[in-house]
A and B are shown apart, each in its own frame.
Chain A
Amino acid sequence: MALLEIDNVRHSFGGLVAIDRVSFEVAPGQIKSVIGPNGAGKTTLFNIVCGLLRPESGSIRFGDRSITGFKPYQIARAGVSRTFQNPSLFLQMNVLENVMVGRHCRTRWEFLGCGVRWPGQPKEEAAIREAAQTQLEYVGLAHLAECPAGALAFGERRMVELARALATEPQLLLLDEPGSGLNTREKADLGRMIRRVRERGVTILLVEHDMTLVMDLSDAILVLHNGARIAEGTPSEIQNDDKVVRVYLGGEMNHVAAS
């Protein structure tokens, strides 16, 4: 059974149809990528899955329940976490605190309990700290725990964001262009990291422009063009798909070769 099931989802901005009745599935343990030219609707699709946008029609199922119309925080609690195209860390906090925020949806003490430090609350707080520390070690940034988030380099922010997303204990992780703005070495590191995350049993849905990374990582690829699905299949199927090569890969590949 599919972990994530998108069924006939449609969304438009005014007269512009950004996503036109797109359906696809993500199997548990899979790394699935969504690719397509700029304006194809990838980000809209992503925002629909994570609850930032509400689809006009169609439904989204996660596991055995419908998450259509859920708010982002409800979707996070259900087990879907995400990173952003532009790393959005909380810049007033240090790195460890950023990751600790990720534990929010798995912890429970509220205003009153936290204010009076009710028995059990300090213990939970210590557990939050410890879990966050573990995630930071996992992405290899434990030495930066006390560093203010605003002082990190771009690549480090990406990794902290990943640690923060992992701290929510997701079953499905949405990565929005994780490779953008990274250099070749950082991209290779990222690829290894994404594989390791998958080995932990986290399913991954990826939007990415870097075709090397996509072809290298993905079990399956979905190609969007003008808001519609034009192809879906394994990396080799997609690379040999005439339509895909015509609208996207051809141009993109030449561009990559030229640069």
Chain B
Amino acid sequence: MKPRLKPGLSFTLLAAALIVVPWILRWADMEYCLTQLTMSLYYAIVVLGLCLVMGYAGQVSLGHGAFFAIGGYTSAVLTTCDVSKWQTAAWLGWIKQSPFCMAREDLFGNPILTLSPWVAFFAAMALAFVVANLIGYPALRLRGHYLAMATLGFGMIVNKVILGTAFTGAADGINGVPEWNLGLGLTVSGKRALRIENYFIASGLLLLLLVLLHNLVRSRVGRALQAIHDRETAANAMGINTALYKLKAFVLSALMAAMAGVFLTHYTAGIGPSEAGALKSVRYVALAAAGGMSSLWGVTGMSTLLNYMSLRGLFGSYDNAVFGLLLIGIVSLAPEGPLKPLARLLRRFVGACRPPNAVGPDAARPDNGPARRASDQTQCLFP
């Protein structure tokens, strides 16, 4: 066994690190970076969900951008559509009084009446749930490249539907999405004054989901998903309802993508059709691969870092090309992601510095050849 921190301690350290970041940035007079950092934390949620479905259950999805867009667009449409134009409808009087509605001014100062962001959030999650089930049920019967193609096709359809529909703003997307008052004095908003608060909302949400997934993958469910990834027939013979588990993992990760979409749409006050594009979905896969696919920590860290670099414009106009290149590089050179080989190298280096009689539990076996190391088991990216 590798020396490992206790999970509780790791999460505390991560939380501490996340809390310290704004102060460091303020000290360095780089507070403006928090905006992109917050956005990359939301994108990391999408990649984290993808980690569950690809890294653990072994099912390729090239359609997660579409689920992000479904969440974001549902939320954007419902919170910007003025319901007061149905003045004559009887239900309007009732709904006006209810907490489901929100009276505000649009970008031009006209008074409008829209649904509240909370209603929109639940509607978005419900829609993502239904769509994920409808897509996942038939698609997860396919394997490997076929599943990848099916989900890719789904993503392209969503993209084209958004581009061709008037009420989703076609190529312009939707802007003027209001801020989202979460309660407890927290508001998801892109206002400068709320920058630090929003950074903490994003990192809190990411940390919460990270803990949930961490628990999940270390339980019977996580083992079942990994068993499906490894050998589906054997998993089924051991009593795992493989079809149902694949679907559940897929739906869960789609919901995470949609949730990130809702939050980010309120944060940036708008959403555009490129969020549903195939290139976005490919980017998420590349980020998951860069993080080592089945390593929750690696995936969170790598996707936050790389998305941050991309949002800061470090890759210039080669943005998508960089992520494409990254994916090609990882698939062909380091299928288990760049982090594990690095860690291995580091451990070997540390091991070489240690006195020779310090042995790990690996040495308990007399016939402990090089083939008996866990690290020699590489994971195939596309099963």
Contact = CB atoms under 8 A, between A and B. Distances in A.
B237 A82 contact: yes
A72 B377 contact: no
Contact of A101 (B240, B294, B372, B374): B240
A114 B215 contact: yes
A245 B248 CA distance: 53
A84 interface: yes
B242 interface: yes
A110 B221 contact: yes
A84 B232 CA distance: 13
A105 interface: yes
Contacts of A97: 223
A177 to B, nearest CB: 15
Contacts of A143: 364-365
B219 A114 contact: yes
Given A151-B374, A164-B238, A101 B222 contact: no
Interface string B199-243: 000000000000011011001111110110111011111111110
B239 A73 contact: yes
Interface residues of B, number: 39
B236 A90 contact: no
A105 B371 CA distance: 32
B220 A104 contact: yes
Contact of B230 (A72, A84, A90, A104): A90
A50 interface: yes
Contacts of B235: 90, 101
Interface in A100-134: 100-107, 109-111, 114-117, 121, 124-125, 128
A184 interface: no
Nearest to A100: B223
A171 interface: no
A89 B223 CA distance: 12
A253 interface: no
Interface of A: 50, 52, 71-73, 76-77, 81-82, 84, 88-94, 97, 100-107, 109-111, 114-117, 121, 124-125, 128, 143-144, 146-148, 150-151, 164, 168
